Structure 1
Amino acid sequence: MTTPAGSVLTENKSETTTPFSCVVWNDPVNLMSYVTFVFMTYFGYSKEKAETLMLQVHNLGRSNVSAGDLEKVERDVTAMHGFGLMATIEKSN
């Protein structure tokens, strides 16, 4: 974009172009089979990938289950909350 004086303005899009991750956290409530089901159903992951992510949640306490722009990851986190899973947004490095 150009200003009336002819100088060029650059937009700060760091919040929308920086990749973000949806992190699912371990909890004492949901069964491992249910978490696997959610990952397969919502994200469309294969059973093997869903089980791998579920085991990360179970053994490590967390797993980055999706990544993308902020709006996409916000949708994913909201969906995980709808399934009863604990999830947060994390800025990727």
Structure 2
Amino acid sequence: MSPAPAVLPRPGTVSAPAEQEATSSSPAAVPDRAWRTIVWDDPVNLMSYVTFVFQTYFGYDEPTATRLMMQVHTQGRAVVSHGAREQMEVDVQAMHSYGLWATLDQEGQ
């Protein structure tokens, strides 16, 4: 004798799961804080090259690019751009393509 077939609910009678408000402490869950691109000091690139990259990619004038380069050189890092996460990811990737060390993080951390 075969077992009795399972009784399945009829289509249209199954209720959807209750929606729950997403709560997360991850940085991506806090949309109202801007992201930033940080360039780090490295032992490879010349100061003149770093200044050139800041002028070429970001469009900074020479005094601004030089000030940021000196901040990288003396303090070990400088915040070179702020904005939406996607754009900061593009900026970080661009800095990597120029051979600079760069990361992104969310402001206020």
Match of 1:18 among 10, 27, 33: 33
Task: Considering Cα pairs closer than 8 Å and 6+ residues apart, tell me whether 1 or 2 has the greater RCO.
Answer: 1
Q: Which residue of 2 aligns with 1:40?
A: 55
Matched, 1:89 2:96: no
Aligned-partner residue type, residue 42 of structure 2: D
Query: For residues 36 and 83 of structure 2, what CA distance do their matches in structure 1 show?
Result: 7
- Give the TM-score of the pair, scaled to structure 1: 0.83
| 8 Å CA contact 1:17, 1:69 repeated in 2 | no
Query: For residues 30 and 89 of structure 2, what CA distance do their matches in structure 1 show?
Result: 13
Query: For residues 40 and 77 of structure 2, what CA distance do their matches in structure 1 show?
Result: 4
Structure number having the greater helix percentage: 1
Q: Which residue of 2 aligns with 1:53?
A: 68
Query: For residues 90 and 47 of structure 1, what CA distance do their matches in structure 2 show?
Result: 26
Q: Which residue of 1 aligns with 2:82?
A: 67
Aligned-partner residue type, residue 44 of structure 2: V
For residues 8-67 of structure 1, the C-alpha deviation after alignment (integer angstroms, 9 at most, x for no partner) is: xx8988455430010000000000000000000000000000000000000000000000
Q: Which residue of 2 aligns with 1:3?
A: none
- Give the TM-score of the pair, scaled to structure 2: 0.71
- Measured on the aligned residues, the alpha-carbon RMSD in Å equals 1.9
Structure 1 residue ranges, 4+ long, deviating more than 6 angstroms after superposition: 10-13
| 8 Å CA contact 1:16, 1:70 repeated in 2 | no
Structure 2 residues not aligned, in runs of 5+? 1-20
Q: Percent identity?
A: 50
Larger Rg: 2
